[in-house]
Structure 1
Amino acid sequence: MRFHTRKWVKPEDLNPNGTLFGGRLLQWIDEEVALYAIIQLEIPKTVTKFMSEIDFVSSARQGDIIEIGIDVVKFGRTSITLNCKVRNKLTRKEIITIDKIVMVSLGENGETVPHGKTRIEYVKDRLDNQ
Structure 2
Amino acid sequence: MKFHSRRWVKPEDLNPNGTLFGGKLLAWIDEEAALYAIIQLENQRVVTKYMSEINFMSSAQQGDIVEIGIEVVKFGTTSLVVRSEVRNKMTHETIITVDAITMVGLDSFGKPLPHGKTTVEYMKDRLGKL
- Per the normalisation by structure 1, the TM-score is 0.99
Q: Establish whether residue 126 from structure 1 lines up as the match of residue 123 from structure 2.
A: no
The correspondence of residues 101-116 of structure 1 with structure 2, limited to 5 A, is 101-116=101-116
1:1-130 equivalence runs, <5 A: 1-130=1-130
Alpha-carbon distance in structure 2 between the residues aligned to 1:73 and 1:27: 20
* Distance in 2, Cα, partners of 1:116 & 1:23: 33
SS at match of 2:68: strand
Counterpart CA distance in 1 for 2:14 and 2:81 is: 30
One-letter amino acid matched to 1:121: E
Give the share of equivalent positions with the same residue, in percent.
Answer: 67
- Unaligned runs of at least 5 residues, structure 2: none
- Say which SS state the counterpart of residue 33 (structure 2) adopts: helix
* 1:69 shift after superposition: 0.3
Cα distance in 2, alignment partners of residues 26 and 77 from structure 1: 25
Q: Which runs of 4+ in 1 moved over 4 A?
A: none
* Structure 2 CA distance for aligned equivalents of residues 84 and 27 of structure 1: 12
- Cα-to-partner distance string for 1:1-32 (whole Å, 9 max, x where unaligned): 00000000000000000000001000100000
SS in 2 for 1:118: coil
Amino acid at match of 1:65: I
CA distance in 1, matches of 2:94, 2:51: 18
1 CA distance for matches of 2:49 and 2:57? 24
